[in-house]
Amino acid sequence: MVNGARICYYKRIKFIYCGVNMKNVCIFVFSGTGMTQYVVDKIAQQFEMLDVKVDQYPIEKTQIQQVPFNTYDLLGIAYPVHAFNAPKIVINFAKQLPADVPSNVFLISTAGENNPVNYSSSKLLIKTLREKNYHVFYDKQLYMPSNFAVQYDESTTAAYLATATAKAPQIAQEITLEAFDRREGNVLSKCMHLIGRAEWFGCIFIGKLFYADHNCNHCGLCAKSCPNQNIISGAQLHFKWHCGLCMRCLYICPQHAIQVHQPFAFIKLGEWYKNEELAVSRNTKV
Ligand SMILES: Cc1cc2nc3c(=O)[nH]c(=O)nc-3n(C[C@H](O)[C@H](O)[C@H](O)COP(=O)(O)O)c2cc1C
């Protein structure tokens, strides 16, 4: 504890001392429906206020070879919790990171429920990064409205957004100081983290149950914004076998035309959140 406090103290001095030299931070973000992006934007605003320069890279659009890793002091990865894990697209991205630029990494995740069962969600991601010589010093989970199966009412939604926003200044400061903060999941969360990986296979089949109803006007927005290029738009929408179950197509469709066949119809929320700050198109940078 004393040592921890001392390290923190030195880091604080280093930070004040380095204040004249701007820190450069890069954040790789995956956000299915904009909740994670919402949180990252709030934290990024706070970084700027601390004189930290932030570059954000959407994971699904980033060519790793084009990222100037050597110009960054810190790397971040932000993701939504999917079945007690980081989504597969995030793990695959981490596997491609170069192994010759060891760096300190911070993780930001959003989950639809403040429940300790989610606490091990970063385990596989941290292992993948460790194999690449990256050191994860920070792993913060925030709670945002759920985009899957269970919809919160507007007052709960507003409360979640307010809490996440209020935490952003402290998170930005802790990351800038490179303060160590990693949570340890309990046995149940570790088991769920393992079992949850079945979702990677399950979502391929659930994705085949997606279809467009008569309201589809073939605008092609769903196909354009799918992070897995799983949708072919034409006279009829065709869903391929690469769905990541991120839910983006369901909620970004202006006609609300994309549905899910039974027995999985329940995963789509009856109505997307009315809260304007959660507009999927605004927060997913499509
Ligand atoms: C397929 C899927 C699985 C999910 N699994 C969990 C989960 O295990 N625990 C949880 O708390 N929330 C879970 N959620 C809810 C999301 O983590 C939460 O709403 C998140 O903030 C969505 O972020 P995004 O909009 O950036 O994708 C899940 C959502 C989806 C789509």
Q: Which two tokens stand for residue 41?
A: 């934007």
Average pLDDT of span 5-29? 60
Cα–Cα nearest to 86, from 49, 59, 114, 52: 59
User: Looking up tokens 């606490």, which residue turns up?
Assistant: 119
**Centroid of ligand 1 to alpha carbon of 20 (angstroms):** 39
- Give residue 10's domain range: 2-196
111 shares its domain with 212: no
pLDDT of residue 102 exceeding 80, the answer is no
225 shares its domain with 191: no
Q: What is the pLDDT of residue 21?
A: 56
Q: Which two tokens stand for residue 97?
A: 């990171």
Within 10 angstroms of residue 32's Cβ, the number of other Cβ atoms is 26
Q: What is the pLDDT of residue 22?
A: 66
189 shares its domain with 209: no
Domain closes at, from 168, 196, 224:
196
Q: What is the pLDDT of residue 63?
A: 96
146 shares its domain with 17: yes
pLDDT of residue 157 exceeding 80, the answer is yes
Domain closes at, from 177, 196, 215:
196
Q: Distance between alpha carbon 211 and the CA centroid of its chain, in Å?
A: 25
35 shares its domain with 175: yes
**Closest ligand 1 atom, CA of 33?**
25
Q: Which residues contact 55 (CB under 8 A, 6 or more apart)?
A: 24, 25, 26, 27, 72
pLDDT in tens, 38-71: 999 999 999 999 999 999 999 999 999 999 999 9
- Judge if the beta carbon of residue 121 lies within 6 A of ligand 1: no
243 shares its domain with 156: no
205 shares its domain with 142: no
**Closest ligand 1 atom, CA of 38?**
26
- Judge if the beta carbon of residue 32 lies within 6 A of ligand 1: yes
- Judge if the beta carbon of residue 80 lies within 6 A of ligand 1: yes
CATH number of 96's domain:
3.40.50.360
CATH number of 268's domain:
3.30.70.20
Exposed / middle / buried, residue 139 (Cβ in 10 Å: 0-12, 13-18, 19+): buried
160 shares its domain with 18: yes
pLDDT of residue 270 exceeding 60, the answer is yes
- Judge if the beta carbon of residue 283 lies within 6 A of ligand 1: no
**Centroid of ligand 1 to alpha carbon of 116 (angstroms):** 14
94 shares its domain with 116: yes
**Closest ligand 1 atom, CA of 37?**
26
**Closest ligand 1 atom, CA of 118?**
9
**Centroid of ligand 1 to alpha carbon of 24 (angstroms):** 29
Average pLDDT of span 61-89? 97
Q: Pick from 31, 119, 146 the residue to mutate for probing ligand 1's pocket: most ligand atoms within 8 Å of its CB.
A: 146
pLDDT in tens, 183-203: 889 999 999 999 999 999 999
Distance CA 44, CA 208 (A): 36
Pairing of strands 238-239, 231-232: antiparallel
**Closest ligand 1 atom, CA of 145?**
19
Report the nearest-CA residue for atom 12 of ligand 1.
112
Residue 34, amino acid: G
Contact 107, 121 (CB under 8 A): no
pLDDT of residue 7 exceeding 50, the answer is no
DSSP symbols for the chain? -HHHHHHHHHHHHHHHHHTTSPEEEEEEE--SSSHHHHHHHHHHHHHHHTTEEEEEEEGGG--GGG--GGG-SEEEEEEE-BTTB--HHHHHHHHHS-TTS--EEEEEEEESS--GGGTTTTHHHHHHHHHTT-EEEEEEEEE----SS-PPPHHHHHHHHHHHHHHHHHHHHHHHTT--EE----HHHHHHHHHHTTHHHHHHHHHTTEEE-TT-----HHHHH-TT--EE-SSS-EE-S------HHHHH-TT--EEE-TTSGGGS-SS----GGG-HHHHTT-
Q: What is the pLDDT of residue 101?
A: 84
Q: Which two tokens stand for residue 21?
A: 């030299």
pLDDT of residue 36 exceeding 60, the answer is yes
Q: Which residues contact 263 (CB under 8 A, 6 or more apart)?
A: none
Task: Provide the domain count of the chain.
Answer: 2
Distance CA 6, CA 222 (A): 51
**Candidate from 12-16, 76-80, 86-90 with smallest mean pLDDT:** 12-16
235 shares its domain with 175: no
Average pLDDT of span 80-96? 98
Q: What is the pLDDT of residue 140?
A: 98
pLDDT of residue 245 exceeding 80, the answer is yes
Q: Number of C-alpha atoms within 13 angstroms, CB side, residue 121?
A: 29
261 shares its domain with 153: no
pLDDT in tens, 125-148: 999 999 999 999 999 999 999 999
Distance CA 176, CA 181 (A): 12
240 shares its domain with 128: no
Domain closes at, from 180, 196, 212:
196
Distance CA 39, CA 42 (A): 5
- Judge if the beta carbon of residue 164 lies within 6 A of ligand 1: no
Average pLDDT of span 229-255? 95
**Centroid of ligand 1 to alpha carbon of 157 (angstroms):** 14
- Judge if the beta carbon of residue 83 lies within 6 A of ligand 1: yes
pLDDT of residue 12 exceeding 60, the answer is no
